Amino acid sequence: MAALPPLILASRSPYRQQLLRQVGLPHQAVPADVDERRHPDEAPHDYVIRLAKAKAERVAADHPDALVIGSDQAAVLGDRVLGKPGTEAVAQEQLAAASGRCVTFLTGLAVVHGATDRREADVVPYRVHFRNLDEETIRRYVAREKPLDCAGSFKSEGLGIVLFQRMEGGDPNALIGLPLIRLFDFLLSFGYPLVSDPGSA
C-alpha cells in the first residue's frame, strides 16, 4: 500500500490543531501568510472559501507532497460579518448585538495536494440561536473566558455554550473552525482511513 501524504494544517489556530489531535490525525501546523481582508461587497460565503483555498494553496506551493488543509470562518449576523473582536469592549458589543438573535457561522474548508494539483473545497454552515443576554451576563462572560480571538466572541467548547438557546447544523466542530465531518469526506477521497493505526498517531 502506498504511503499516504503527510498532513499540514495551514493555520496557527490552537483550536483547529486540537481538533486534529482529538481525532488522531498526525499533522504539522504551518501558518499561511495571506491577506485576510474581505473584498468590498464580497459575500461571506465567497469570502471564507476564497481564504480557505488561498491558505491551503499558499502552503502547498512550498510542500507539494503534503495534503494541506486550509480553513477560514465568518460569523454572520443579518448583513454584518462579525470578526475576531480583539478587545473586551468589541466582544461585549458583538454579544449584545447577537442577543436574542441567530448568528450563522460559515466555515470554508479546502484540501490541496500540490503534487497532483488536486483540490477539494466546501463551505459548511452552522447556526447558533442566542439567549436574551443582559449587559451584566455579557460582561461577566467576556471577563471570565476572554474570547478575543474567536469570531463571534465566544468559545462554544467552553463556557460559551451557556449563551445559546439552541444550535442547528450538521457538524458542531464547524463552530470551532474546522468541520471534521466534511474534512473526513475529503480525506477518505485521498485514501486516508477513518481511524488510523494506533501506532501512527
Given a contact cutoff of 8 angstroms between Cβ atoms, the answer to whether 54 and 11 are in contact is no
User: Grid cell 471577563 — which residue?
Assistant: 143
For residue 75, what pLDDT is reported? Answer: 92
Given a contact cutoff of 8 angstroms between Cβ atoms, the answer to whether 109 and 179 are in contact is yes
Compute φ and ψ for 71, nearest 5 degrees: -150, 150
Compute φ and ψ for 47, nearest 5 degrees: -60, -50
Mean pLDDT for 50-71 is: 97
Residue 57: pLDDT band (50, 70, 90) is: very high
Question: Does the pTM of the predicted model rise above 0.85?
Answer: yes
| Cα of 66 vs its chain's centroid, Å | 20
Give the chain's mean pLDDT: 92
For residue 200, what pLDDT is reported? Answer: 54
Given a contact cutoff of 8 angstroms between Cβ atoms, the answer to whether 119 and 54 are in contact is no
Given a contact cutoff of 8 angstroms between Cβ atoms, the answer to whether 73 and 106 are in contact is yes
Mean pLDDT for 8-13 is: 94
Catalogue all structural domains in the chain, each as residue range(s) with its CATH number: 7-190 (3.90.950.10)
78-89 residue pLDDT tens: 888 988 899 999
Mean pLDDT for 12-29 is: 92
Mean pLDDT for 85-101 is: 96
- CA distance linking residue 77 with residue 131, whole number of Å: 14
pLDDT exceeds 60 at position 1: no
Mean pLDDT for 111-127 is: 96
* Residues taking part in catalysis: 72
